[in-house]
Structure 1
Amino acid sequence: MRRPRTITRAAALAGAVILTAAACGSSDGDGDGGNGGSNGGSAAEGEYTGGEVRANLNSPQTLIPTDTVESEGGTVVSAVYSGLVDFDIDSGEVVHLVAESIETEDNQTWDITIREGLEFHNGETVDADAFIRAWNYGAYGDNAQRGSFFFDVIEGYDEMQEEGSDVTELAGLEKTGDLTFTVTLDSPFTTFEVALGHNAFMPMAQACLDDVEACNTEPIGNGPFKMAGPWEHDVEIPLERWEDYAGENSANIDTLTFNIYADAQTAYNDLQAGNLDVLRTTPPELRDEARNQFPDRFIEVPTSQITNLAYPLYDETFADPKVRQALSMAIDRQKIIDNVLLGAFEPADSFIAPVIPGYQEGVCEYCEYDPDRANELWDEVDWPADKKLQLHFHPGAGHDEWVEAVGIEIQNTLGIEFELRNELEWADHLNARDDEEMEGPYRSAWIMSYPSQEYYLKPLYTTNGSSADTGWTNEDFDRLVREGDAAPTLEEAQDLYAEAEQILMEEVPSIPLFYGRSSAAYNDTVENVVYNIYETNPSWTDIQVK
């Protein structure tokens, strides 16, 4: 029996509170997911100052890398572990960390060499076995790791996912030396080296595999910070500088303590009171106040989040692309951002976030607010008489006002009434999407697990994609994504993905609405605070104590 489809890290973001920034998980654990590493590609140079830094955190789900698909756990994991690659803060380009080299001739078989002399915090060697054991653990279905789906590109994954399977090792992993191993994928995937930047691909110490529960409480990593004590649930997670870190970007501070909060307001109050040095995310309703109180210590940056209204294309009402196009053009996104979302977002003009390499600015014709054109299209469609537009979202996550604003925009432009549908809690809402039970457009959101167009296209819009629930399918789109995956270079892949996105622009299987923005504030106790948009966090290794 095949296991049910795992909710991916980015799909989990669909449950996040939209009025918090993408980096902040919601209190019900539906925040966005894990990050890439935090210890490479520094944008600012600083010297070791020592000292203590305190930052806020919501309660993580877990601290096991292969099980971490939300932001709070990812924040800690990316400080405690180092992966094969990271991303340059300025350019987003791949930077090798633990990897000495990653080579391929066909984008399907990848030869990985690990740097010599690297260790875990407990003295174990970081070698080929460390990655092979971690990936096998993450891919094995009975281990029920939330990040298991990241390994589905590797040969042998499906066999390991069968319930009760006696296959416990990926067929596509082969150790070729103490510091070398080969990865064979099911098919060519040019973006694989980029995907390796996600925390699911971190190494695992043998001591962690021997006692996963203990390692979840006090992880044994190989990154610039190590645990200074066990995770005290709902209280704090204490880290300290690892003196023997062999990476190029060692921590500038002695200790980094994540104080755990149930809500952002309390964390903000503690920042004001001097009980916190860094507030990772400022709630939109407090941003004006934070800008005034911390004028030189307030950072506001774009994130990779995109919020959409997805169409249930299994409902014939939405089969005509002109219906979808008209509804999209009937929405004044900027007006909603200014009046409801407190300026914390940007209007979406593409299906891909602007921070992603290959983003095409302003290419979505039907993302523009154009009431005249919307009405021209609407006059050409056969919308059932007296049918109300059903707008679905889950309750208790701050979506009510902006979804209602969308409905009002459509009603004022096209003259059709709408009904808000938020009767299903998050889990039931997801099940209804998977079971094709939505009766109208539904709120959906996405955030990168690694910086690639592919991650915005393939899971959401290819036929049988891992998070595809609209019922939309297009052979040409699927072909172009496959060709992008198999392209000889990333540049050629970007061109093919861009061509695939043009099909989305015309077909509009969902309405791109908003791009996310995140903000951080910090006290005058610290300096050299550099924001890493690829992690939606400050760079913890760069920060200094005054």
Structure 2
Amino acid sequence: MPVHGAVEPIDGLGPLIPGAKNCMVRRIGVVLTAMLLVVAGSCSEPERAPAVPGTFSVALSEPARLLPAEVTDLPGRLVADAVWTPLFAARTDAPAVRPLAALSATSTDLITWTVRLRPGMRFHDGSPVTAQSYVDTWRTVLLRQWRGAEVLTKTLRAKDFRAADPLTVELVLERPLGQVPLMLCAVVLVPLPPSALSAGNWTEFAKHPVGNGPYRMVEPWRPGSGARLARVEDYQGPAKGIAREITLRVAANPDEQYELARSGQVDLATEVPGGRHHQMHSDFGDRVLMWPLPEVTMLGIPLRDKRFTDAAARHALALAVDRAALEAGPLRHQVDVATSVLPPAVVLGRRSAKCRPCNFDPTAAKALWEQANSPATELSLTFPAGADAWAQALAKQLGATLNLTVSPKVGESQDGLSVLTRTPHTRSPHELLASLTALGYANAAFDQAMTAADTADLTTSGDAYRRAENQVLRDLPVLPLWSGHGHAVWGQRLSEVTPSPSLAIDLATIKVA
């Protein structure tokens, strides 16, 4: 039996001998310390799984929805762009489109459109993609009043659509519109397979969607975890996916995404937190992508309020906003300050110069406010939940520059200023400009410019939409603030990381070393 207080022999060290007790204790301490350091090191540095050739992993936030007609957020578009192929893809260098699931969209009167489909396209369950697939899907979208219904009813203003033959869709509008090919790029208008349309179990379908794209989901989506995508080997679209398999890994927040990519636990992070913005180039070199998101934020004004009927008052408010300070401060470099009403995500080309009301000019703002002789001394500013930090700062800017009391609050109001954030479904300038009329904006010159733009060919409509936008900048029914942009960073195994047609990340075109 061991004696209480005695030191027992340790295998590999031999028995303790008289006079060597202190030495052996030191040896034991060194061994135990080394063992603890090894254990600690294994905890702080996660073991990286060996890279599998032809595959890569992606960190993303939890998608809000996976039903394509309901998708609006970046993670949802990321998945949808891999699993589905839209009819067309917008060109970013010119107002034109690139055929994907369609071959062409033509019209002789800009009212009746003929959309010819690419032959051989199939859903991941093997069923063919036909004109009837689109017709039945769009009817379901309208019946269920999913978000895609807004594109069909408000943006396209479709009066009818039908299958003229197995590979031809005829789309009839209420009025002439040359923007149709650009609007048919919308991910909310992609087709659903007959099996899903007949079953009508949309909760289950959203867990394991079946699309017509270059990748299929090989397992149901696991909330908080993700899923795996496998390349469709017999895909008949314009270009097969490059990687053989893609693992989608849900991260709790952008900070976790960034750290997973920096430590090599994933190959690609689709968001960069504001706190890492200044170090992303030092951490990843030139493996950084920034691109415009389909998201624009404006300041809405109650146009019937007598305090704002004078355009000088509205211009004063616009010039009183220091957008650059908000971008670098509470917005944490996640936006592009406005240079016009239409954001960079809209396919129209950039303006030659920054719009006058998009500047910060406190001296001019004060002069215009006094010129307008506005009776306002107190204003409310309503904003959406989660925007407290920058909304409070915006209210302080307006109050300090114009000597007002501006009270920010969460919610919706028609009594004062309101923050308006829009996520257009299409990249056509028509959608965003036409939506201003719903805010009570009316101007004959604006209406005339919009009619000219809408009835022009897609490739020649840009100048007319610019005239409509310029009229908005003169009247300022809304004040341009900023638009969102995305960030992505990736490891050395990947290349050719580019935005997707819906302005997520194009997973299908990424090359793997």
Question: TM-score normalised to the size of structure 2?
Answer: 0.83
Q: Which residue of 2 aligns with 1:539?
A: 506
Q: Which residue of 2 aligns with 1:117?
A: 120
Any idea what SS the aligned residue of 2:372 has?
Answer: coil
C-alpha contact 2:81 2:501 (8 A) present in aligned 1 = no
Q: Which residue of 2 aligns with 1:198?
A: 186
Q: Which residue of 2 aligns with 1:484?
A: 453
Q: Does 1:180 align with 2:168?
A: yes
C-alpha contact 1:147 1:200 (8 A) present in aligned 2 = yes
| Amino acid in the other structure paired with 1:183 | L
Q: Which residue of 2 aligns with 1:349?
A: 339
CA shift for structure 1 position 107: 0.9
Pairwise CA RMSD = 2.4
C-alpha contact 2:399 2:406 (8 A) present in aligned 1 = yes
C-alpha contact 1:345 1:516 (8 A) present in aligned 2 = yes
C-alpha contact 1:153 1:185 (8 A) present in aligned 2 = no
CA shift for structure 1 position 534: 4.6
Any idea what SS the aligned residue of 1:175 has?
Answer: strand
Q: Choose the corresponding residue for 2:431, options 452, 455, 462.
A: 455
Q: Which residue of 1 aligns with 2:86?
A: 83
Closer, same or farther in 2 for the Cα pair 1:357/1:83, shift >3 Å?
closer
Any idea what SS the aligned residue of 1:172 has?
Answer: strand
Q: Which residue of 2 aligns with 1:497?
A: 465
Larger of the two Rg values belongs to structure: 2
CA shift for structure 1 position 373: 1.9
CA shift for structure 1 position 194: 0.5
Any idea what SS the aligned residue of 1:207 has?
Answer: helix
Q: Which residue of 1 aligns with 2:375?
A: 384
Distance in 1 (CA, whole Å) between partners of 2:83 and 2:133 is 15
Closer, same or farther in 2 for the Cα pair 1:156/1:89, shift >3 Å?
closer
Unpaired segments of 5 or more residues in structure 1? 1-48, 158-170, 423-428, 463-467
Distance in 1 (CA, whole Å) between partners of 2:445 and 2:399 is 34
Deviations 1:312-356 (A, max 9, x none): 223222222111111111222223323433344332121011343
Distance in 2 (CA, whole Å) between partners of 1:208 and 1:153 is 26
Structure (1 or 2) with the greater helix fraction: 2
Q: Does 1:414 align with 2:402?
A: yes
Q: Which residue of 2 aligns with 1:530?
A: 497
Q: Which residue of 1 aligns with 2:17?
A: none
Any idea what SS the aligned residue of 1:380 has?
Answer: helix
Q: Does 1:145 align with 2:121?
A: no
Question: TM-score normalised to the size of structure 1?
Answer: 0.79
Q: Which residue of 1 aligns with 2:363?
A: 372
Any idea what SS the aligned residue of 1:477 has?
Answer: helix
| Amino acid in the other structure paired with 1:493 | S
Deviations 1:479-498 (A, max 9, x none): 432332222x1244222221
Percent sequence identity over matched residues?
Answer: 25
Closer, same or farther in 2 for the Cα pair 1:155/1:189, shift >3 Å?
closer
Q: Which residue of 2 aligns with 1:104?
A: 107
Any idea what SS the aligned residue of 1:538 has?
Answer: coil
Deviations 1:88-113 (A, max 9, x none): 46556301112122110111101121
User: Where do 1:102-251 residues align within 5 Å?
Assistant: 102-140=105-143, 143-152=144-153, 172-213=160-201, 214-251=204-241
Any idea what SS the aligned residue of 1:78 has?
Answer: helix
Q: Does 1:286 align with 2:276?
A: yes
| Amino acid in the other structure paired with 1:59 | E
CA shift for structure 1 position 219: 1.7
Deviations 1:241-294 (A, max 9, x none): 000111232111111122123322222232233222111111222212333221
Q: Which residue of 1 aligns with 2:32?
A: none
Distance in 1 (CA, whole Å) between partners of 2:206 and 2:292 is 31
Unpaired segments of 5 or more residues in structure 2? 1-51
| Amino acid in the other structure paired with 1:249 | A
Closer, same or farther in 2 for the Cα pair 1:351/1:89, shift >3 Å?
closer
Distance in 1 (CA, whole Å) between partners of 2:292 and 2:83 is 25
